[in-house]
Amino acid sequence: MEWWQNFLPLNYERVGVWASVICTFAIYSILYRENPFYRFFEHLFIGLGAGYSLGPVLTEALYRCWYLPLWKEGYWAWAPVVPFGLYLYFIYSERYGWMSRLVIGLLIGANAGLFFQEFASRQLPQLNSTLSKPLWITSENFDITDGQVLKWVPLVLNNWIFIIFLLAVLTYFTFSFEHRGPVKRVATVGRWFLMIGLGAMFGNTVMARMALLIGRIHYLLSNWLGIPVGGG
């Protein structure tokens, strides 16, 4: 078979790859200029996304959590949940719009009630792990029977840095009293430490975005043009 017979969209699998490539270049066309080609595929994208969500969101979730218990297992008590949920769809009407807030209120209230466990389970273990950072080499915390004190020094130094950074940034985020004198200096240094944390986030965010672009270019090279780039 000539190479072009494999390349051009002649069988179902190649039609799929070409469709994917056309979509890719349509979206990249906005890099040159906003154009009708881009706008067509953008609306296509939003329509496909909305249409797709009907499957898992409406069909699977409601099938599993409402249709099954009712029509397959007979727990009639589930009957009122969807009728009550339908109030959500009054959100756009002038007169009855407020009723949608009954259902939204249920969601907000439930998530608020659940948050207490999240606060305890997420913040307190972090608080506790902060406390187990000893700031001095003592026998209670370190095995110094063999007189080797030097090897614990890096750990203790890191503990000092940890506590100083933590308290400085926490001080920076306080607002109900004037920052004057020593507190102002601690808060200013706290903002500089904050910049180190933001720098780490910056470096990682750049890496994330690059990987997404590389993923697309990898698809174009290996799946479309068939160039062996490795990684299957």
Partner 1 sequence: MWQIEVGTTTGKVYVTLIVLAFLALFLGFIPVMQALPPRGRRALIALITFFAGLVFAAEFFLPVDKKGENWLSPAIDPAQNTLQIIGAMALALGTYGLIRLHLRNIVQQRSQWGYSVVLIVAFLTMGFFSVWKTLAEKGELRQTEFLQKGFTLLFDNMLVPLEATMFSLIAFYIFSAAYRAFRIRSIEASILMFTAMMVMIGIVSLGNIISYSWLGLPIEQTAEMEQNPFSLRNIGYNLALPRIAYWILQALNAPVQRAIEFGVGIAGLAMAIRLWLSLERGIT
Partner 2 sequence: MSYQHAADNWFSAIIIALIATAVLLNIARAKAGAQLYIRRIPGLDAIDEAIGRSTEMGRPVTMIPGLTAFGVVAVQSLTIFKYITKQIAKFVTPMRLLTADATVYAVAQEAIQDAYNEAGRPDLYDPDNVRFLSDRQFAFASGVAGLLQRERVAASFMFGEFFAESLIFAETGNIVGAIQIAGTISFTQVPFFVVACDYTIIGDEFYATSAYLSREPVLLGSLVGQDIAKLLFILIIIVGVIAATTLGKDDEFIKLLGMPGGWDAFWKAIFGGS
Partner 3 sequence: MMEQQTIWHRLLMIDRRILYLILFVNIIIFLLIPVKVPTVTSPPVRKFYDTIEQLQPGDIVMVSSNWSAGTIGENRPQLEAVIRHLMRKKVRFTVISFDPQARDISFRFISRVTQEGGYQYGKDWAHFGFLPALVAGIKGMVKDIPATIKQDIKGTPIAQLPVMQGVKTLADYKMVIDITPAGTVAAWIAYRPKDLIVLFCPTSVMAAEAYTFLDSGQVAGMLTGAIGAQEYEQLLQQEGLGTPFAKAISFSHALIILFIILGNIALFMSRRAQGG
Per CB under 8 A, residues contacting partner 3 are: 31-32, 49, 52-53, 55-57, 60-61, 64-65, 68-69, 110-111, 114, 117-118, 121-122, 125-126, 128-130, 162, 197, 200-201, 203-208, 210-218, 221, 227, 229-232
E strand or H helix that includes residue 138 = none
Taking residues 79 to 118 in sequence order and writing x for each that binds partner 1 by CB under 8 A, - otherwise, the string is: xxxxxxxxxxx-xx--xx-xx-xxxxxxxxxxxxxxxxxx
Q: Report the distance separating Cα 62 and Cα 54, nearest Å.
A: 11
The runs of H, that is alpha helices, within 132-180 are 153-172
Per-residue interface string for the shown chain with partner 1, residues 48-67, x marking contact by CB under 8 A: xxxxxxxxxxxxxxxxxxx-
To the nearest whole angstrom, how small is the minimum distance from the Cβ of residue 57 to partner 3? Answer: 5
For 91, 97, 101, 169, 175, the CA distances from 94, given in Å and listed in that order, are: 8, 6, 13, 46, 40
If the CB atoms of residues 100 and 222 are measured against partner 3, the closer one turns out to be 222
Residue 230 binds: one of partner 2, partner 3, partner 1, none (C-beta under 5 to 8 A by kind): partner 3
How distant is the alpha carbon of residue 7 from its chain centre? 38
Q: Choose the contact partner of 140 out of partner 3, partner 2, partner 1, none; CB within 5 to 8 A by kind.
A: partner 2
Are 130 and 162 in contact, with CB atoms under 8 Å apart? yes
Residue 131 binds which of partner 3, partner 1, partner 2, none (CB < 5-8 A, kind-dependent):
partner 2
We find the least distance from the C-beta atom of residue 124 to partner 1, in angstroms, to be 9
Residue 1 contact among partner 2, partner 1, partner 3, none, beta carbon within 5 to 8 Å by kind: none
Distances (CA, A) of 216 to 63, 126, 176, 219: 35, 38, 49, 5
Question: 229 is in the binding site of which of partner 3, partner 1, partner 2, none (Cβ under 5 to 8 A by kind)?
Answer: partner 3
CB of 44 to partner 2, least distance (A): 13
Choose the contact partner of 79 out of partner 3, partner 1, partner 2, none; CB within 5 to 8 A by kind: partner 1
Look up residue 140 and give its DSSP letter. Answer: T
Q: Which residues contact 35 (CB under 8 A, 6 or more apart)?
A: 29
Cα–Cα distance, 115 to 62 (Å, whole number): 25
Is residue 64 a contact partner of residue 49, using CB atoms and an 8 Å limit? Answer: no
